[in-house]
Amino acid sequence: MTAAGSAQLDGGFEVSRRGVGLAVRDLRVETTAGSAVVVDEIAFDVAPGEVFGLVGESGSGKTTIGLALLGHTRRGLRITGGEVLLNGRSVFAASPRELRSLRGSEIAYVPQDPASALHPLRRVRTQVSAGLRAHRSGSDVDSRVAEVLDEVGLPSDREMLRRLPHELSGGQQQRVALAMAFVCRPSVIVLDEPTTGLDVTIQRRVLETVRTLCSAYGVAAVYVSHDLAVIANLASSVAVLYAGRVVEYGPSKLVFSSPVHPYTRGLLESVPLADRRKTLHGIPGRVPRPGQRPRGCAFAPRCVARTESCLASPPASCQVGTRLVRCIHAEELLHQHSASHPGSATTTSTAGRADGSPGRGSLAAELAAPADPQEGPQAESASAPAPQDQPRLTIRRLTASYGEVQVLAEVDLSLARNESIAVVGESGAGKTTLAQCIVGLHTRWSGEIDLDGLALSKQATRRDRESLRKIQYIFQNPYLSLNPRKTILETITAPMQHFFSWSGAEALERAAEALRSVSLEPDNLYRYPDQLSGGERQRVAIARALAAQPTVLVCDEITSALDVSVQAAIVELLVRLRQEQQLSLVFITHNLALVRNVAEVCVVLSAGRIVEAGRVEDVLERPTDPYTAELVANIPSLFREGVGAR
């Protein structure tokens, strides 16, 4: 499709009628109650062997489209228009019987969460062969199952065939799900965020498998994801979704290197990069819900390039070079783009930025990594903290366990005033346990944790009020960390009343101030959490933590439940607050790309041990530990192969 370019965009219908692959025309899905439009005017083509990326944030309708390609909708939705052509045959015109024979054999679906998509009581052989038995009766089932397991990179020995889903790792489960989709050699495959929830190393390998399989067997793949970097690496063409419509559609290299639509630009400015430091810019506002979308351009209320005419009527797609852009200002934006690249204005090279970070000389040196002997002597030689520069938080030989299982071993860490440490690692590395030991939620540990030179008790309830106040914890999921039955005012003033006995007008005033400091309007004080978006809730959670006037903030994966544009805004906020309030930060994340934006020091945890610790630039650019090196190499990047470096 990249080669055919615009010709195919115009005449794709004819091309697909004649040829093979997938063609979608004017697809429209509405809610059954109220007929609110969920997705509309969706049109794209996928040629055999091509991977097509469908990218959007939560609520953009990407899963709805993915399912509609198979003629399916979730409960409460219905397909009300358009056409999906599968090798020239209409999916929507198919009878239920024909549809059943199409699904699985011609077009297959890989769901997001393999752990819940696999039948927990069926062995691998039964799971994978189910499709064959349904569609290819009589063929040699066993040999095809063995073949497809080979193709997806799983051993096809008896032992693997006999395993149950819970005996497989997350990556293996996803490969089994892939095998189930590929087993009948479909010509089209829809992958709905199949690597979400997998660690980067496994994600990379699964993605390579998908790419190889699609090109080797000429499968047209639709890859649905919220992760721009994954799509940039995998897809040859991409459609960016916003509020149920495609806002930008074209070759993925072009879309990601020189985006035209303001939303695409905003998204790209929100994505943190592992290989260089850049200032993140979130997109203010939130995605309108179906039925509440504005009359004009759905993005207009959040758009920086908005004019009066944007609000009048929904813009049509217009062709800009080889792309379709749904914006009435597309032409101007394109020219403006060639004059100044929005990314280059905010993106600076690593070399130029290495000294720009606010860290001080001894930061990295204060870290000792006993698991890595090379790091030790170097660290000791440089560490000579001045007495007044006593670290706020010191962790010595922290060993923690859950029952019999040791999850942290001999962890040493030191956090200075106004310093920020990022703790990274894959799932199961002990990151959250470390955070919970610091705040006193996990109590089965030995070693020492000192706050301002005073030893902390293991359990939060045994700690004194001052040390409880000074360390505040922000939880991962803002949908669970706020009491749904309390107003924002009650939530924020609770720590104020508790620690400072402020109440009445004083507490109200300070709560309003706290909300303003996290960039929320004070009129949110009388709302309940369910009236706020995920990003707004996380801001409230931060405001609650700040209400106690802490010195140390422990952030446990605080952006992982949020969309990338919201994540950028939260990170921005955190960086600003840290400077304003002289906070020390422990930032726990699995997302290495984020680390540059929040921390000076990076600690890499693997299986409960610190395998590498040092300045963020050093760890990300010159990793000494093989584990770290692998981790860094596997981060999906928007601009791999120098696509965006101009």
Partner 1 sequence: MNPVVGLARRRGVGRTGRSQGVLWRAAKTSRGAFGLVLSGAIVVLAAVGPLVSPHSATAFVAQPFAHPDASNLLGGDILGRDVLSRVLNGGWVLLIMAFLATVVGVGVGAMAGIVAAYVRGVGDGAIMRTVDVILAFPQLVFALLLVSVVGAKLWLIVVAVGISHAPQVARVLRAAAMDVAERPFVKAMELNGVRARTIVWREMLPNLTTPVTVEFGLRLTYSIVVMAGLAFLGFGQAPPAPNWGYMISENRIGLVENPWAVVVPALLIALLTVGVNMFGDAVARVSMGAAGRKGELAVASTSIGAMEPPAFLSADGPHSLQPAARNDVPG
Residues that bind partner 1 (CB under 8 A): 439-441, 460-461, 463, 465, 468-469, 472-473, 475-477, 479-487, 494-495, 498-499, 505, 508-509, 512, 522-531, 544, 548
User: Minimum Å distance from CB 203 to partner 1?
Assistant: 26
Residue 62 vs 326, nearer CB to partner 1: 62
Residue 218 vs 522, nearer CB to partner 1: 522
In 10 A of CB 51, how many CB atoms?
25
Residue 53 vs 440, nearer CB to partner 1: 440
Residue 285 vs 376, nearer CB to partner 1: 285
Residues near 619 by Cβ (< 8 Å), separated by ≥ 6? 602, 604, 612, 613, 628, 632
Residue 493 vs 634, nearer CB to partner 1: 493
Enter the tokens of residue 549: 């006037």
Residue 1 vs 437, nearer CB to partner 1: 437
What does the alpha-carbon distance between residue 549 and residue 110 come to, in Å, rounded to a whole number?
A: 47
Q: Would residue 601 be called left, alpha or beta, if left means φ above 0 and alpha means ψ between -120 and 50 degrees?
A: beta
User: Minimum Å distance from CB 556 to partner 1?
Assistant: 10
Residue 216's H or E segment, with its range, is helix 200-217
User: Minimum Å distance from CB 549 to partner 1?
Assistant: 12
Task: Identify which of 38, 12, 43, 11 has the alpha carbon closest to the alpha carbon of residue 27.
Answer: 43
Residue 404 vs 530, nearer CB to partner 1: 530
Enter the tokens of residue 76: 């409460």
Residue 138 vs 484, nearer CB to partner 1: 484
Residue 70 vs 514, nearer CB to partner 1: 514
What does the alpha-carbon distance between residue 34 and residue 606 come to, in Å, rounded to a whole number?
A: 51
Measured distance between the N- and C-terminal CA atoms of the chain, rounded to whole angstroms: 24
User: Minimum Å distance from CB 116 to partner 1?
Assistant: 16
Q: What is residue 408's three-state secondary structure?
A: strand
User: Minimum Å distance from CB 403 to partner 1?
Assistant: 16
What does the alpha-carbon distance between residue 116 and residue 133 come to, in Å, rounded to a whole number?
A: 22
User: Minimum Å distance from CB 227 to partner 1?
Assistant: 22
The letter for the amino acid at 40 is: D
Residues near 554 by Cβ (< 8 Å), separated by ≥ 6? 435, 438, 439, 471, 472, 473, 474, 586, 588
User: Minimum Å distance from CB 475 to partner 1?
Assistant: 4
User: Minimum Å distance from CB 306 to partner 1?
Assistant: 26
Torsion 153-154-155-158 (CA) sign: negative
User: Minimum Å distance from CB 211 to partner 1?
Assistant: 34
User: Minimum Å distance from CB 459 to partner 1?
Assistant: 10
φ and ψ at residue 519, rounded to 5 degrees: 60, 40
Task: Identify which of 1, 19, 21 has the alpha carbon closest to the alpha carbon of residue 10.
Answer: 1
What does the alpha-carbon distance between residue 189 and residue 182 come to, in Å, rounded to a whole number?
A: 8
What does the alpha-carbon distance between residue 143 and residue 73 come to, in Å, rounded to a whole number?
A: 34
What does the alpha-carbon distance between residue 130 and residue 141 come to, in Å, rounded to a whole number?
A: 9
Q: Give Cα 330 distance to the centre of its chain.
A: 28
Residue 312 vs 402, nearer CB to partner 1: 402
